[in-house]
Structure 1
Amino acid sequence: MNPTDTSTEDTLDLQLPEEFVALFRGAGNDAGRAAEHGPSDLLDRLADWGPGVTTAGVLRLMPVDLARDTALVARWMNDPVVAAYWELAGPPSVTEEHLRAQLAGDGRSVPCVGTLDGAPMSYWEIYRADLDPLARYCPVRPHDTGVHVLIGDEADRGRGLGTELLRTVADLILAARPACTRVLAEPDVRNETSVAAFLGAGFRQTAVVDLPGKRAALMVRERAARGPS
């Protein structure tokens, strides 16, 4: 969900009922395995997912490095179009605090810079929707994976690039996370451009959800069912 709608600390401290957590135990990369093998297991070692090929170039999700990326992400957060929905405008320390809270957590939310042919141009948060406060407001399934995204520069907006990137990232998630059957997103319903980009990327709107701080369109991209071999 929008990081300002519920605090990152709230996301990191969410405690799920034992019977819900039990659903994960036989599925593979669950919270218990993460404690044993390292936090990256919660998202199946996102840093190792590899590239996605788009018509605009090769997309890579690079987990954030505070020293390298804070100033850039802060500049994007101060763009009025971005700030209207992310609400993280301000000095770089505001962005750094937001990023640091995720990096200091257990790996259920990973902030990334998206590069296209090596050039940084987007910011992503890939997160375990089933371990997020989003689970309090709508039905989720074990290993559902959520996406937040912003396109950094104005020149990269309004030409269909967002749709292509979202489709590619959803494909990457479903390829890298065998236990994940759905990719979720919850853009603000007022953000018609974002909602349209998700629809164009193969998501469908399944509900309108009242979340703290915003009314969200719940977007779902399901893993395509495989036919008989």
Structure 2
Amino acid sequence: MEDTLELRLPGELLALFGQDRHSRTQAPAGREPQGTTPRGASGGEKPPGRPFPGEDLLDALAEWGVVATAVGSFQLVPVRIDRDLQLISSWMNDPAVAAFWELAGPESVTEHHLGGQLAGDGRSIPCLGVLDGVPRGYFEIYRADLDPLARHYPARPHDTGIHLLIGGVADRGRGLGTTLLRATADHVLDHRPHCARVVAEPDLRNTPSVAAFLSAGFRFSAEVDLPDKRAALMVRDRALSKVL
């Protein structure tokens, strides 16, 4: 199998196997809270799998700017809890979303989920997907190679993952998710030069999500058993991004 033959295990990944962390990878699903700031100093040796304090793991995502799509101008805007909590929590309480994200309940549930990422080391960044100035969905852009997901597939350095939900019921089922998925994946590849692949792991039961990834130029790579679901590993390759 292509992915297995090209397996590489850098120090970043080896460190993950020693971490006793419970993965909550639901796709489109949430991420577990991020770890504490790692030890390290300028000029010192970086602990395997841990960034130096202040190291940017996602290449200045907040500065990526706007990308043109067939449905308007799209931008990933990093979440601010004081501004965005009410909206994101309302989306998480939609039964269709809650079935896979499992973050329904009071705003404090969503706040805890967002806060874990915002207080972490930057390997996962929660964002609003903003189309022509209007938030249309919630996105998480994360370093899949530094995530517990890397224990379950042949990760490569700088693999970047996407979780997303489309917020409005009226926006679903008409191709918007596919368009924004493609735009987001290509946005990642355009701004992360060391990233050769964008990956995702939607629940196999979430057939609309799997279909959207396929329509957005991702290929089905494998079925993956994760701690709380059986997932479809979806991959968008840089080498094929201009033809798929």
TM-score of Structure 1 vs Structure 2, range by shorter chain: 0.7 to 0.9
Give the TM-score of the pair, scaled to structure 2: 0.80
CA distance 1:101–1:225, shift in 2 (3 Å):
same
Post-superposition offset of 1:125: 0.3
Offset from partner CA, 1:30-82 (integer Å, 9 cap, x none): 954x52xx24x100010001112111111110000000000100000000000
Post-superposition offset of 1:5: 7.8
Report the 3-state secondary structure (helix = DSSP H, G, I; strand = E; otherwise coil) of the residue aligned with 2:122.
Answer: coil
**1:99 aligned onto 2:114:** yes
Percent of residue pairs identical = 61
Give the TM-score of the pair, scaled to structure 1: 0.85
Which of 141, 157, 177 is the aligned partner of 1:126?
141
Offset from partner CA, 1:197-217 (integer Å, 9 cap, x none): 000010001000010111000
Where structure 2 has 5 or more consecutive residues not aligned to the other structure, the ranges are 1-24, 39-44
Distance in 1 of aligned mates of 2:105 and 2:140: 20
Offset from partner CA, 1:78-101 (integer Å, 9 cap, x none): 000000000000000000000000
What residue is the counterpart of 2:105 in the other structure?
A: 90
CA distance 1:197–1:225, shift in 2 (3 Å):
closer
CA distance 1:168–1:225, shift in 2 (3 Å):
closer
Higher helix share: 1
Post-superposition offset of 1:162: 0.6
Which of 26, 50, 67 is the aligned partner of 1:2?
26
Post-superposition offset of 1:224: 1.6
Distance in 1 of aligned mates of 2:27 and 2:35: 12
**Is the CA contact 2:89–2:110 (under 8 Å) kept in the aligned structure 1?**
yes
Report the 3-state secondary structure (helix = DSSP H, G, I; strand = E; otherwise coil) of the residue aligned with 2:239.
Answer: coil
Post-superposition offset of 1:12: 3.3
Where structure 1 has 5 or more consecutive residues not aligned to the other structure, the ranges are 16-21
Displacement over 6 Å in runs of 4+: 3-7
Tell me the number of residue pairs that the alignment of Structure 1 and Structure 2 aligns.
209
CA distance 1:213–1:76, shift in 2 (3 Å):
same
What residue is the counterpart of 1:172 in the other structure?
A: 187
- Over aligned residues, Cα RMSD in angstroms? 2.4
In structure 1, give the amino acid aligned to 2:32. Answer: T
CA distance 1:104–1:188, shift in 2 (3 Å):
same
**1:12 aligned onto 2:26:** no
CA distance 1:84–1:48, shift in 2 (3 Å):
same
